[in-house]
Structure 1
Amino acid sequence: MGDKVTSDARVPLTSVVSGQLLQLLRDEGLAEGDSIPPTGELAERFGVSRTVIRESLAELTGRGLIRRQQGREGVVALPGGDHLSSLFETRVSYDGISFEQLHDVREVLEVGAARIAARHAQLPDIARLSDLLHAMRTATDDKQMLAVDLEFHRAIASAANPLFGLILDGLSPLLMKSRLAVWQSYLAHGGDLEAAITRHTALRDRIAAQDEDGAAAAMRDDLQDTRQGLAGIE
């Protein structure tokens, strides 16, 4: 049996146990999809009631760190972009953040990510970008093409740093709304798909050439076109 858990009066016992449960899962090397120990075993190990354990597990489930499955105590989970999406969409709606402000974040994140991707990208990353360029050309409608466009940018961010990819993944639903609005303005002001693909091809080529400055400039050019499109819909 482990040491009995005690709680400071200012911190609920459930929260203390949640933190120690999370540490236990890490210490035991449990990976995503692995089953967690039974409730009774955890209650004995921490010297608390089963109710406290169940409440702590519910808290970790709400944070996306445990996933409940029928017939199992639960399995380890890793929070992903969907958890960030919920957070971002709530705050954007509550704070009245505009598409232009969202684009400010893209510029800071993606220009830097393009530079780092040129430093770190491997052949599979370049192949992925090439596949996505082909998918952009063969998309059957604007929505499908723009979804591939976002995936292209996520692939660059992930090649640079997994955290960049995670953040961009979380922003993707908001970015899709922005891109759908901007695309019509882009077309109305003389833009076309071929020009967009040319910009993305240049971006892929600069990353493949390990040209950090060139990749950053190519990303900046692509995002500047979006910036102009935003101005056209305001």
Structure 2
Amino acid sequence: MTDSFPPRLMRTRLYEQVAGQISAWISDNGLTAGDKLPPERELAQRLGVSRATLSQALVALEVVGVVEVRHGDGTVVTERQGMQQATRIVEAIRSHADRLPEVIETRDALETKIASLAAVRRTDEDLARIDDALAAMEADIAAGGRGVEGDERFHGAVTAASHSLLLARLMGEIGDLIRETRIESLGQPGRPQDSLAGHRAIAEAIRAGDPQAASEAMHAHVAMVSDVALLREQP
């Protein structure tokens, strides 16, 4: 006879609990698409959590499409949530976190090759598009935003500069998953500025026509932006 044990219970991270509480609060208060949540400081006080934990929970909710954090407009509800959906929302957040490592591996493999090819194949028009994306991201960050659109434009411009239809198609296939990781990454404190610095290093290597340097810069950038709170162990 062998001893059998019940499966280990999965520990719920604090930000997951807070995300579930926010979802239930949205439902309890009858908020619908377009309605705003209270300011972060007030919401953190109501929930009895730190601003850092609240911000992480809001980013997680944004990733799964419950809210949208808008620069200058606060956090806005994007869809109606029923009370019974709070658990499902936490499950969706956990599912996102579970698939992050695979998305990161795939992104790293594709984008390091893309950067290498871009350094060899880029045209003056490609460089201009890369510069425009950098300028847009810099302006957004300077205005207090996270630079999400500029970040997406930059990586799109680098992909276009590789002049590889197949690699561009593969990037398109995982585009939605990468956007999730982009929102999560740029929601980390100080990350927009760090990401912009990484973009500049990639752009410089592509402009110099150095495929190895471009590949290494992209690899370092993906590794840096992939360090996200959703993957860290928490009490």
- Over 3 Å counting, the alpha-carbon distance change for 1:151 and 1:169 in structure 2 is farther
Aligned partner of 1:165 in structure 2 is 168
Unpaired runs of at least 5, structure 1: 1-94
Aligned partner of 1:214 in structure 2 is 213
- Point out the structure with max Rg over C-alpha: 1
Deviation, structure 1 residue 134: 0.3
2: CA distance, partners of 1:192 / 1:111 = 20
For the aligned residues, what is the CA RMSD? 2.6
2: CA distance, partners of 1:182 / 1:203 = 18
Q: Tell me if structure 2 keeps the 8 A contact 1:147–1:176.
A: no
After superposition, the C-alpha distances for 1:163-189 in whole angstroms (9 at most, x for unaligned) are 22222233222211122122223x1xx
Superposition pairs of residues 166-205 of structure 1, within 5 angstroms: 166-185=169-188, 187=189, 191-205=190-204
Deviation, structure 1 residue 105: 0.5
Task: Please give the secondary structure, in 1, of the residue aligned with 2:157.
Answer: helix
1: CA distance, partners of 2:226 / 2:208 = 27
Larger RCO of the pair (alpha carbons < 8 Å, separation 6+)? 2
Aligned partner of 1:104 in structure 2 is 105
Structure 1 runs (4+) greater than 3 angstroms displaced: 140-143, 230-234
Aligned partner of 2:150 in structure 1 is 148
Q: Tell me if structure 1 keeps the 8 A contact 2:119–2:211.
A: yes
Aligned partner of 2:116 in structure 1 is 115
2: CA distance, partners of 1:233 / 1:108 = 25
Identity within the alignment, %: 22
2: CA distance, partners of 1:170 / 1:204 = 24
Aligned partner of 1:128 in structure 2 is 129
Q: Which moved more, 1:101-110 or 1:196-205?
A: 196-205
After superposition, the C-alpha distances for 1:122-172 in whole angstroms (9 at most, x for unaligned) are 1110110000000001125646x2122122112212211122222223322
2: CA distance, partners of 1:98 / 1:228 = 14
With the length of structure 2 as denominator, give the TM-score of the two structures.
0.52
Task: Please give the secondary structure, in 1, of the residue aligned with 2:227.
Answer: helix
Unpaired runs of at least 5, structure 2: 1-94
Deviation, structure 1 residue 193: 2.8
Task: Please give the secondary structure, in 2, of the residue aligned with 1:228.
Answer: coil
Q: Tell me if structure 1 keeps the 8 A contact 2:186–2:192.
A: no
- Over 3 Å counting, the alpha-carbon distance change for 1:177 and 1:115 in structure 2 is same
2: CA distance, partners of 1:224 / 1:171 = 17
Superposition pairs of residues 218-233 of structure 1, within 5 angstroms: 218-229=217-228, 231-232=231-232
- Over 3 Å counting, the alpha-carbon distance change for 1:138 and 1:119 in structure 2 is same
- Over 3 Å counting, the alpha-carbon distance change for 1:183 and 1:177 in structure 2 is same
How many residue pairs match? The answer is 137
Residue identity matched to 2:168: G
Q: Greater share of helix residues, 1 or 2? A: 1
- Over 3 Å counting, the alpha-carbon distance change for 1:224 and 1:218 in structure 2 is same
With the length of structure 1 as denominator, give the TM-score of the two structures.
0.52
Deviation, structure 1 residue 221: 1.0
Q: Tell me if structure 2 keeps the 8 A contact 1:132–1:152.
A: yes
2: CA distance, partners of 1:181 / 1:202 = 22
